[in-house]
Amino acid sequence: MAGTILHVNAVGLMAALAELKDPSLRRRPFVVAREGLCRAVVSDLSPEAHREGIRRGMLLSLAQRRLPGLRVVEPDSRRCGQADDLMWEIALSFTPLVERGGQGHLFLDLAGTGRINGPPQDASMRLRREILAREGISPTIALASTKTSTKVATRVFRPGGFVALNPNEETQLVRLQPVELLPGVGPVLKDRLSLLDIEDIGTLADLRPFEARAIGPRGPELVARAGGLDDSPVNPQPPERRSLEASAVLEPDSLTVLRLSAALGFQARTQGLGARRVGVGLDFTDGREAFAALKLPRASSRDDELCAAAWEAARRAASRRVRVRRIMVRFSEFGAAGPELDLFEPRDAKLERLQGALDRIHGRHGLGALAPCSLLALAQTGAGA
C-alpha cells in the first residue's frame, strides 16, 4: 500500500506559464531571464533548452553563446505567485495539511481523508486534473511515506508523471538514483561526493557514521535521509512564522537561560532550521513582566550564537532589581539552518563539526550529558539573569 505523503512539483513553472501566455514558444528552446541585467542568469527554461545543455543558474550570456538565437522571456513574478497560490488553494480542498516547499512545490498529508477523498491514489489524480483544468499546467506528483522519497520521485518522473510507491518500492527507487537528486545535495556537494566515488543515493546511504561525518557537518543528516530515515511531518505553518518556546520556574540557577536556549537549539537543528529572532521573557515575583528580543543577521542554529543572543536579550529584559520567578526563551522567524556545503571549508567549519558531535551525544544520552565550557564561560562573564 502506498504512503499518504504527496508531493506536487510544477516543473518549470515560469516556463510553463510563459508558454500558456505565448503559444509560439511551444516546442522551442527558450529561457526565462532578466535580459537587461549585466550578469543575468537563467531563472527557468523549456525542456528543449534543457536538451541543448542550458541549465538553471547559468549566465544568460553563456547560454546565448551555447545556443545562438535562444529566445529570452522576461519573468512574470506576479503571474507565478498567482499560480502558486491557486495550487495551494486547490490542495487545501483535499486536506488542511499542506506545506509550501518553494515556488511550484507542495507537500500534502492525505492520511485520514479517505472517507472524503477516497484512496490517496485517486485523490492525487483528481488533484492534478483540477490543477490542469484551472491553471493549464500538469505537475509531476508522487505518493510515498516520507517527504524525501516523494521529492526524489518527482525528480525522477518529471516533467508530468505520477507514481504511488509502497515502502519497499520507494527504498529501492531512491537508492538507485543519482546522488544529486537527493534534497540538500547541490552542485558543489555533488562534486565533492564524486571525488569520494559516491555517485548514487544508495552508496551514500551505506556510509558508516565516521564516513558520514567526513563529508561535513550535514553529512550524518544526508546519509540518514538517503537511507529513508525522514520523519519530518507536513507542516502547514511557513518556516518564518514558526516558533519554539520553553520556560522554567527559576531556582537559584544562573544557567537557566543557557539551558533553555541549548534545548531549543537542539530542537531547531533536528528540523534543519535556524532562528533569526531570539526573545527572552521574565516574570518577576511582584507580578510584573518584561520581554526583550534580538534580531540575528542570519538564520542561526549553533548553540554558541543562540545562547549568546538569548543571554543578551535576558540582560536587557532584567532591568529591574526584583527577583525573577520565571523565565521564557523563544526562537522564531525560522529559515534554512545554513547554506549547502561548500567545496572549501568555511571559517566556522570546526564549530559546525563540534556542534554536530555534541548533538549526537545529546541525541543518545540526553541534553544533560555534557555542557560546553563556552556556555559556562558565557554565564560567568555575563550579567545575572
pLDDT by residue for the chain (385 residues), tens only, comes to: 678 999 999 988 999 999 999 999 988 999 999 988 888 899 999 989 999 999 888 999 999 999 998 999 999 989 999 999 999 999 999 999 999 888 889 999 999 999 999 999 999 999 999 999 998 988 999 999 999 999 999 999 877 788 998 888 888 889 999 999 998 888 778 888 888 889 999 999 998 888 888 777 778 888 988 888 888 888 887 776 777 777 777 654 456 788 888 888 888 887 778 899 999 999 988 888 999 999 999 888 888 889 899 999 998 998 888 888 889 999 998 886 654 444 344 556 677 777 777 777 776 677 666 766 655 555 555 544 4
Alpha carbon distance 20, 140 (integer Å): 18
For helices 256-270 and 373-381, give the axis angle rounded to 10 degrees.
Answer: 140
Q: Which CATH architecture has domain 5-12+78-145+152-165?
A: 2-Layer Sandwich (3.30)
Alpha carbon distance 142, 8 (integer Å): 7
Prior bond of 159 cis (ω within 30°): yes
* CATH number listed for the domain at residues 176-226: 1.10.150
Alpha carbon distance 226, 261 (integer Å): 30
Q: Which three cell numbers stand for residue 281?
A: 521573557
CA 56 to chain centre: 19
SS3 196: coil
SS3 332: strand
Alpha carbon distance 19, 68 (integer Å): 20
Residues of the chain within CATH 3.30.1490.100 domain(s) are 239-381
Residues of the chain within CATH 1.10.150 domain(s) are 176-226
Alpha carbon distance 22, 18 (integer Å): 6
For 15-77, give the CATH class: alpha beta
Residues of the chain within CATH 3.30.70.270 domain(s) are 5-12+78-145+152-165
Measured from the Cβ of residue 378, the count of other Cβ atoms closer than 10 Å reads 19
* CATH number listed for the domain at residues 239-381: 3.30.1490.100
Please give the C-alpha separations between residue 191 and each of 41, 269, 349, in angstroms, as whole numbers: 21, 25, 19
Measured from the Cβ of residue 334, the count of other Cβ atoms closer than 10 Å reads 24
Residues of the chain within CATH 3.40.1170.60 domain(s) are 15-77
Cα-Cα end-to-end distance for the chain: 54
Q: Please give the helix or strand (H or E) that residue 364 lies within, else none.
A: helix 349-365
